[in-house]
Structure 1
């Protein structure tokens, strides 16, 4: 049986008698140093050696010390909280798996340094900017994670004005106010279109998300440039506002044209899955009625999603999709923000995690 030091036993005993958690005083008693030295070591402040810091942190773990964040905030003007206020419908996260995994990855990295993530969804850009002002006025958060850069986005300049540190997931920020970390999908539209073109598709529809979002406009531009370069046939770019019902209506309308698209690209998996369900109903009815076309599922148009999740795997046909590791992305964005909070020099845009095209049944079901 291992033996613990007398100091450790005394510290635990003293804490037990008080009926309270282990405190800095108990760690100081364990190591035979001053309480001020323990405080400096715990908070990674100068004034004590690296060896002392290491010993204090080991003792803190051994004794079961847990930081009291309210006390830390009073002593250091920190809240140990990072704000996240994306503009989205409040029920949107029920379907948007990418952002859920992004948040989980960010929280994993933040929690290792004692930070929590304060999530506050917004219904408008005005509401989002108002929240940032409230947070800054009440010193509610130490920093902010931004997503969904917009054309002429006012948020980076506002956060600089408010003195709130921030990083951007996406971008880059054209004014270089906020450092950013983006997934390297500069050629992702070309990758998708090349795949479809090699399969013989020349009438392709792109059902995008929001025309005000930087990445949607960037993909639309890449779509136009690629199709012009290859001299493809009839093409469509439609904006859905990320509304599955809108995507279904647009898809149904396009399929009713004299020369309908033979392939569809959707901004995310929920738009793709909702549209595939509608297309399936139409094609099954046509097959049952003996329509002069190949039977289901061979009469389905090709489908690609710019987001990947279990929805793409479990749909039928399963959906070809652009895969990114959202959890790792969130973790790396949080790590970049932690550097900013430590006062390190961080600027410009960094690109990581090149996406992969996961080919599934929706673009590879061959003719019988």
Structure 2
């Protein structure tokens, strides 16, 4: 089965053969900065896609990439996604992302993380970080010792804690919107859902689905998570190799990126797709069109999984309120349904339609700022 080992190492074949400046030009990135520290082994890359709406915000992930080029491609695509995620959610922040290249089990230490914090501080607030893959709230505490430009901190330090709960609720709203578009009702009772990935977001999403009496199938690379999902929620366990052989109403990718590709799409046996993973389409244009040709409803990933950025942005701005955040994340339902309906009327790839909506807001606000 063709899947990538990093959540968002997607990208067209063309992109994988392009140099960094060509990709930056293609997607309109403002800046990419790198830091190397021999003493700690730190190899950090920060991608700043846009600061038109505000400081570039996005989490830091640490991964043992096969090459530095993979890390650069990842940070470029992820930072772009953060711009659109924030813009379409009505947030006054831009898009950025950071990757740390290396084995977290071998390299992570207080000194390593504080050195990274000093790197962030050197950007003078242009980039604000948060947690992501292999970066915990404890890691953020170390980073916070060297910079104030960090969010997603533990509640004990005045932060909002893990944003996964808000993210999961937003994904749940996105799934209901996709169901409404596909089936004429947003009820998920009796719907067969193939949930890929039961980490922090996926497990909470599983709870929502079970509470609504969905028939849920789960897959994950971690056996203990699968056993817990089966034992506690009665989910049916499916091996990663069987995911695309399962007939379902809804496929919910919440782990790996680029799972919608040349291999998987011809095999898909679902009516709608909505999930929490980033960059689900390996190639936005090609694979978005392939889904349309199969008549599959696709809810844009950066719209569906925007709950997390809503939470960390509110914390950073000093406006964190859980009740309000759940209300804001509930709005993902209406926005998603609006984009899906518009895409259907215009016979447009829903992902590209969502990008148009996000870019329209960025352009309008940017023009407003220039006129002041």
TM-score when normalising by structure 2: 0.44
Work out which of the two has the higher radius of gyration on C-alpha atoms and give 1 or 2.
1
Q: Which has the higher contact order (CA 8 A, sep 6+)?
A: 2
TM-score when normalising by structure 1: 0.44
